[in-house]
Amino acid sequence: MGHQILVVDDDRDLRAELARGLGREGFVVETADRAEAALAALERSHFDAVVTDVRMGGMDGIALCRRILDSHPTLPVIVVTGFASIETAVATLRAGAADFLTKPYDLTQLRLSLDRSIRLRDLEKEVRRLRASLPVSIDEMLGESACMRDLSVLVGRVAPTDATILITGESGVGKELVARAIHQRSPRADRPFVAINCAALPEGLLESELFGHERGAFTDARARREGLFVAASSGTLFLDELGEMPLAMQAKLLRALEGRTVRPVGGTSEVPFDVRIVAATNRDLESAVAEGRFREDLFFRIAVVHVEVPPLRSRGADALVLARFFLDRFASRTKKSVVGFTARAAEKLLDYPWPGNVRELQNCVERAVALTLTDHILVEDLPPRVREHRSDSFSLGGDLDPTELVTLEEVERRYLLRVLEAVRWNKTEATRILGLDRSTLYRKIERYGLAPRVED
C-alpha cells in the first residue's frame, strides 16, 4: 500500500482532481473540505503527509498547519496557494510547513515534494533511533550506511585488544572520533585518552612532549616534566598526523615502541610505559615508505590493524543523520528553537559531495543555525557552495570505453539493480530513491528479470 495522504481544499472539483492524480501516482488519498474536518480525520486515521490549500472558509491553511504540528510534530505538511507572496511564504515556513507550492503547479512537482518530505521524516526518525541505540560518547559516528556498519564492526573487534592501530582517511572524516571510540570500548576506557598532533610541533618540542625532559635539558627546561607516554599511563596515546613526523623523530618513536620505554630529553635512564598506541594520518604511508619519507619498519610496527574511515560522500543518507545531530547540538548551545531542515534544504545536504567531509558538514550546520530566522533551516541559510551545487554527472561505476556503450534501456536496468542492491532489496526505500510508485517498480523488476543475488 502507498503512503497515506490527506488533501484539504474547500474547492470540490480541485480536491477531487488532486485526489485522482495522486491516486494514479500510487498514493492512498483521503480528502477534507475544511480545516476542522481535516483535524478530525487526523484523530481517527494515520497519514504520512498533508496537502492543504491556504485560502479556505473558516481556518486557513497556515493556521491548520500550526494546529497539525502542535499535535503531530513530525507529520509533513505541504501548503499550496494561488496567491503567492513573500509574506505568505515566510508565514508558511514559520508555521513549520515542509514545503510551499504556488499554483499553478504540476502533479510531478507535488509528488516530488511529497517524496522528499516523507523521506526526510523517515530519516529524522532514523536519527532518533540511532541516537537512542548508541552511547552518547560516540554519537558523531552515527550512520546506517554499509561502510559505517562495517567500520563499527571492526572497531568493536579491535577495541578489546591492545593491538597498535593505524587510522587513515581524508581530512575531516573523523579519525580522532574513531580513535576515541576504540578507547571507550576498550578495557582502558576509565584511563586517560591523550592526543597530540605530530604536525603542530617542531621536532625538538615534539620529542619533549612525547618523552618528557629533565631539568636543564634545554634553555627553558626549568623543571623536570614527564612526557605524554607516561602521562597516558594505562590508557591510550593518540598520535594524530603521524605522516608529518620527521624521519629522525620516527627512529626515536620506533625505539620507544619496540622497547616499551622512553628516555626523557637530557636524561640517562629509561622510563617504562604502558599505553595503547593509536595513530592517524591522511597521507598514503605506503607511498611515503616507497619514496623514503616514512620508515618502513615504523609503518609495520604502527599498522598492526589498519582502519580506513570512509569519506562522507560515500555514506549516502548519513550526511542528513549527522546534520540533524549537529543541528540539535548548535540549537541547544545558541538557545534557538531550530527543529529541523526543510525538504529542499535536506535535499541539498544529501546532494552536496562534502569535500571537507564531516568537519565541513559540521561548520555548514553551525552557520545555518546561526543565520536562520525560522524554526527550520532553509536552502538560503546554507553556504553558497552547498546551495548552488548542481549534481550533473552520473556513473554506472567507472568510465566506459566507447566499445562498452549501451542502450538507455540497459542503463536503466543496471541503475535499478544497483539501487535495489544498495538498499538490500527494500522496495519501499527503492521507490523513494527512484521516484517511482510501487507498481511501476514491480513492473520494471519483472521486465528486466531482476532478482537478488544468490550467495554461494
What one-character DSSP code corresponds to residue 116? H
Position 400 scores a pLDDT of 40
What are the phi and psi torsion angles at 195 (to 5°)? Answer: -120, 145
Distance separating alpha carbons of residues 28 and 171, to the nearest angstrom: 46
Question: Of 31, 29, 42, 41, whose CA–CA distance to 9 is shortest?
Answer: 31
- Edge-to-edge, what's the strand order for the sheet holding 305-308? 193-197, 236-240, 276-281, 165-168, 305-308
Position 227 scores a pLDDT of 87
SS3 content of the chain, % helix, strand, coil (to 5): 50, 15, 35
Torsion of CA 407, 408, 413, 414, to 10 degrees: 80
Position 299 scores a pLDDT of 95
Position 273 scores a pLDDT of 92
Where in 103-192 does DSSP place strands (E)?
Answer: 165-168
**Tens of pLDDT, residues 122-158:** 877 776 666 555 443 344 566 777 888 888 889 989 9
| Parts of the chain with a pLDDT under 50 | 134-139, 392-405, 455-456
Position 247 scores a pLDDT of 94
Position 104 scores a pLDDT of 77
Position 398 scores a pLDDT of 41
Residues 6+ apart with CB under 8 A from 199: 240, 241, 244, 245
Position 420 scores a pLDDT of 82
What are the phi and psi torsion angles at 17 (to 5°)? Answer: -65, -45
Distance separating alpha carbons of residues 169 and 310, to the nearest angstrom: 7
Position 179 scores a pLDDT of 94
Q: Across the chain, what does the average pLDDT equal?
A: 84
